[in-house]
């Protein structure tokens, strides 16, 4: 007898997360590394490396980040890389899948991803998936926590920040906003700011990411942030407390403005309820004090209440999986 497995996927710019109906949770970097030359190909014995494996061997690889801007880059290599990532993630999640078993998947994409980029995902996955559902990432987050009443989902990813206004029914286009102010933007801003103050220091995207994830904050006050960086190979301690705060505010300010705009254009009778139900998800929700910062930005509107979601990494994929499991069979048949 064949089985039908259900999978929810959050295809992210930096990380892709997957949750299956068999209880698996897998997360990997959304990148593929191709050997630079014949020597590296011989060393790895493979045509490509994926995720963290690729990142750890990046010096010998040509790295492809297929979702660098939040959506699939439409060049051939990026499309191929996205297919490889999804195929391997699914194979890893369902190692015992039999030939006659079926896989039904819901994939979360940015709220305002183009029709073309959604079609690309369908095209590259139809050879190894039986049913594919494309859903909004922010809506997946709302679905995972069963919040369909008046609330505002703010999903801060690496490539995009998705905002989705929920009001008890399917969100319309005007209820959703996608911003390009997200994790990658913050990385660039931090890099520039550090190099401006300490032009000699050696930085890589991985160093910046580590600094951001460990020390990123938007409080008014903070413990001094001292990091060890190298200048021409010599390690030294650098104080980046002020730099980091200024940079993080450059990310949270446009997000706060987008929140204010979505609230201001909502039914006035429900604006207060919306202000008091702001849910922050995604990797960006780990910035220390981001909930307080958003609440402060709403003070002139009468205040608000923001909270960061607990399972920031998997909430999108779990929401997508929940949709799959709760979907009636005849609905699937329509796809």
CB of 21 to another protein, least distance (A): 4
Question: What backbone torsions phi and psi does residue 155 show, to the nearest 5 degrees?
Answer: -105, 100
Residue 38 or 99: the one with the smaller Cβ distance to another protein is 99
CB of 322 to another protein, least distance (A): 9
Residue 53 or 101: the one with the smaller Cβ distance to another protein is 101
DSSP label at residue 22: T
Residue 98 or 127: the one with the smaller Cβ distance to another protein is 98
What is the distance between the terminal CA atoms of the chain, rounded to a whole angstrom?
23
What residues contact residue 227 under an 8 Å CB cut-off, 6+ apart?
A: 211, 215, 237, 238, 240
CB of 76 to another protein, least distance (A): 22
Residue 196 or 334: the one with the smaller Cβ distance to another protein is 334
What residues contact residue 78 under an 8 Å CB cut-off, 6+ apart?
A: 64, 66, 67, 72
The span from the CA of 207 to the CA of 229, in Å, is 9
CB of 136 to another protein, least distance (A): 9
Residue 44 or 332: the one with the smaller Cβ distance to another protein is 332
**Nearest C-alpha neighbor of 252 from the set 154, 151, 138:** 154
Please say whether the beta carbons of 59 and 37 come within 8 A. Answer: no
Going from the C-alpha of 332 to that of each of 6, 106, 325, 328, the distances in angstroms are 12, 11, 11, 7
CB of 256 to another protein, least distance (A): 28
CB of 184 to another protein, least distance (A): 27
Name the site residues for another protein (rule: CB under 8 A): 3-6, 21-23, 94-98, 101, 115, 118-119, 122, 132-135, 148, 168-170, 323, 325-329, 331-332, 334-335
Residue 116 or 231: the one with the smaller Cβ distance to another protein is 116
């Amino acid at each position: 007898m064949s089985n039908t497995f259900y999978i929810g996927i959050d295809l992210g710019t930096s990380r892709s997360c997957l949750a299956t109906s068999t209880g698996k949770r897998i997360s990997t970097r959304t990148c593929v590394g191709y050997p630079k030359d014949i020597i590296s190909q011989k060393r790895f014995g493979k045509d490509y490396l994926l995720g963290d494996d690729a990142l750890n061997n990046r010096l010998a690889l040509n790295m492809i980040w297929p979702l660098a801007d939040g959506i699939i880059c439409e060049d051939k290599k990026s499309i191929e890389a996205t297919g490889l990532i999804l195929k391997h993630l699914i194979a890893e999640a369902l190692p015992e899948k039999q030939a006659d078993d079926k896989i039904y998947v819901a994939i979360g994409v940015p709220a305002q991803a183009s029709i073309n980029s959604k079609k690309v995902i369908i095209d590259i996955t139809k050879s190894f998936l039986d049913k594919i559902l494309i859903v909004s990432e922010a809506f997946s987050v709302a679905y995972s926590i069963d919040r369909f009443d008046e609330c505002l989902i703010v999903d801060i990813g690496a490539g995009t920040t998705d905002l989705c206004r929920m009001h008890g029914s399917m969100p319309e286009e005007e209820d959703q906003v996608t911003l390009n102010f997200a994790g990658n933007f913050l990385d660039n801003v931090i890099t520039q700011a550090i190099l401006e103050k300490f032009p000699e220091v050696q930085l890589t995207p991985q160093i910046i990411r580590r600094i951001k994830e460990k020390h990123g904050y938007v409080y008014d006050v903070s413990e001094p942030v001292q990091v060890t960086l190298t200048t021409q190979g010599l390690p030294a301690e650098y104080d980046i407390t002020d730099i980091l705060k200024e940079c993080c505010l450059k990310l949270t300010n446009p997000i706060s403005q987008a929140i204010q705009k979505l609230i201001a254009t909502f039914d006035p009778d429900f604006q207060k309820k919306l202000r008091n139900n702001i849910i922050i998800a995604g990797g960006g929700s780990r910035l220390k004090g981001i909930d307080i910062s958003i609440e402060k930005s709403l003070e002139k509107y009468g205040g608000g209440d923001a909270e960061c979601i607990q399972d920031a990494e998997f909430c999108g994929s779990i929401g997508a999986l929940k949709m799959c499991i709760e979907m009636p069979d005849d609905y699937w048949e329509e796809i």
